[in-house]
Amino acid sequence: MILGIESSCDDSSVALMDAKTYELVLYKKISQESRHSEFGGVVPELAARLHTAALPNLALDLKPYFEDIKAIAVTNEPGLSVSLIAGVSMAKALSISLNIPLIAINHLIGHIYSLFLDQKIKLPLGILLVSGGHTMVLNIDSHGKITLLASTTDDSYGESFDKVAKMMNLGYPGGAVIESFAKGCVDDMYKFTVPLKGNKKRLEYSFSGLKNQVRLAIENLGKNLSEDEISKVAFSFQKAATEHIIDKLKTVFDIYKFENFGVVGGASANQTLRGELEKISTKYNTNLLFAPLKFCSDNAAMIARAGVDKYEKKEFIDYKNLRISPRSDLNGVII
Ligand code: KG4
Ligand code: ZN
């Protein structure tokens, strides 16, 4: 079995995967969302403290399986430094005490593996990654080499939902709550401008201008927004943000012909986004892949699954060389 450990942001999670069958033998996740909600976003110091409390408890659940673990795959980049340190420290401690090798996993590559939890990876592959920290489009060739095709110059898609929710005092994270307020509303009252719309030369995302449009609309409404007002803002915002994703993807699809195109990251749970993606994938004759809803957001199952492929290639790392990094560049990386 391969042990996966994930602690890059506000979820502490462990998973055990059978390296031959991909069976998920154990999966646990302790989410900190409710603890960060009152602050409208993740508070790093609080996240670090909560990981330090949660991870040893999760390690106790692993105890009956210690003898069967062949390697430990742990997220070491990108993410919140203080959160990454918690998981990596536990991975090192287990590696030394159980005398088993370590495998370093890039969190974003972990998300890609959420599409293939119980099967072999399909290559070549196009990817849209939409999470709280990232918005990017990737091409992965048949050898697994990643090319970055587009990314955001400021906020990410998921983060813009979080910020809009914060502006309306709806807590953290904002994705699901904005989506539920938008549901049922059909009136695009605000008609927010879609960023960089139709500009085929600029293959990039930007959500900060849209966020400011939303901020102005909310300020004009004054204090104590009614549910109807929140729904209308949420609907118009979600519509423009999603149109932005699709508009740039069309330019990508005009250039690249993907047989398989995967959509990953916490925000890939958004049903409006999924609906619009279905439409363009039909138009461009692309097979769309999604992770199971439960594994769209951060989880250790995807880290264990990425670890299985690295275990087969014997890509181990000595504990002295295993470092964390808040950022990573996927361009040119081999999956
Ligand atoms: O992948 P993830 O769990 O963590 C990061 O790696 O960042 O993604 C979390 C992000 C948050 O910003 C959250 O608001 C967003 O995904 N999200 C959504 C939805 N569910 C989660 N965004 C839009 N619509 C959703 N239904
Ligand atoms: Zn993530």
Pocket test for ligand 1, best of 131, 167, 242 (most atoms within 8 A of CB): 131
My answer on whether 171 and 33 are in the same domain is no
My answer on whether 27 and 156 are in the same domain is no
Answer yes or no: is 107 a known binding residue: yes
- For residues 257-276, give the mean pLDDT: 97
Q: How confident is the model at residue 260 (pLDDT cuts 50, 70, 90)?
A: very high
User: Angle between the 157-167 and 208-221 helix axes, to the nearest 10 degrees?
Assistant: 20
**Separation of alpha carbons 56 and 108, rounded Å:** 24
**Nearest bound ligand to the CA of residue 245:** 1
Q: In the numeric block, which tokens belong to residue 95?
A: 């590696």
My answer on whether 170 and 229 are in the same domain is yes
Q: Which residues pair with 331 in a beta bridge?
A: none
- Residue 138 phi/psi, 5-degree rounding, is -125, 150
My answer on whether 140 and 268 are in the same domain is yes
**Separation of alpha carbons 14 and 6, rounded Å:** 6
Q: In the numeric block, which tokens belong to residue 164?
A: 């809009």
My answer on whether 9 and 86 are in the same domain is yes
> 265 vs 45, 55, 80, 223, CA distance in Å?
24, 22, 16, 33
My answer on whether 142 and 251 are in the same domain is yes
My answer on whether 202 and 305 are in the same domain is no
Q: Please write the tens of the pLDDT for every residue from 102-127.
A: 999 999 999 999 999 999 999 999 99
* Res 40: pLDDT: 85
Pocket test for ligand 1, best of 12, 270, 273, 293 (most atoms within 8 A of CB): 270
Is residue 269 within 6 Å of ligand 1 at its C-beta? yes
* Res 303: pLDDT: 98
Question: Would strands 287-290 and 135-140 be described as parallel, antiparallel, or unpaired?
Answer: unpaired
In whole numbers, what is the pLDDT of the chain averaged over residues?
Answer: 97
Q: How many CA atoms lie within 13 A of 316 on its CB side?
A: 17
- For residues 50-56, give the mean pLDDT: 97
**Nearest bound ligand to the CA of residue 109:** 2
79 CA → ligand 2 middle, Å:
8
My answer on whether 162 and 81 are in the same domain is no
Considering only CA atoms, which residue is closest to atom 14 of ligand 1?
Answer: 175
Q: Which residues pair with 319 in a beta bridge?
A: none
My answer on whether 181 and 108 are in the same domain is no
Atom of ligand 1 nearest to the CA of 173: 14
CATH number of the domain to which 84 belongs: 3.30.420.40
Atom of ligand 1 nearest to the CA of 134: 7
pTM of the prediction? 0.95
Answer yes or no: is 130 a known binding residue: yes
CA nearest to 319, candidates 106, 105, 96? 96
- Residue 294 phi/psi, 5-degree rounding, is -60, -25
* Res 326: pLDDT: 97
Domain of residue 61, residue span:
2-116+295-312
pLDDT exceeds cutoff 90 at 198: no
My answer on whether 300 and 275 are in the same domain is no
My answer on whether 180 and 286 are in the same domain is yes
Is residue 159 within 6 Å of ligand 1 at its C-beta? yes
245 CA → ligand 1 middle, Å:
15
In a domain, 333, yes or no: no
pLDDT exceeds cutoff 90 at 223: no
Q: How confident is the model at residue 173 (pLDDT cuts 50, 70, 90)?
A: very high
Q: In the numeric block, which tokens belong to residue 60?
A: 């106790």
In a domain, 270, yes or no: yes
Answer yes or no: is 129 a known binding residue: yes
My answer on whether 251 and 308 are in the same domain is no
pLDDT exceeds cutoff 90 at 64: yes
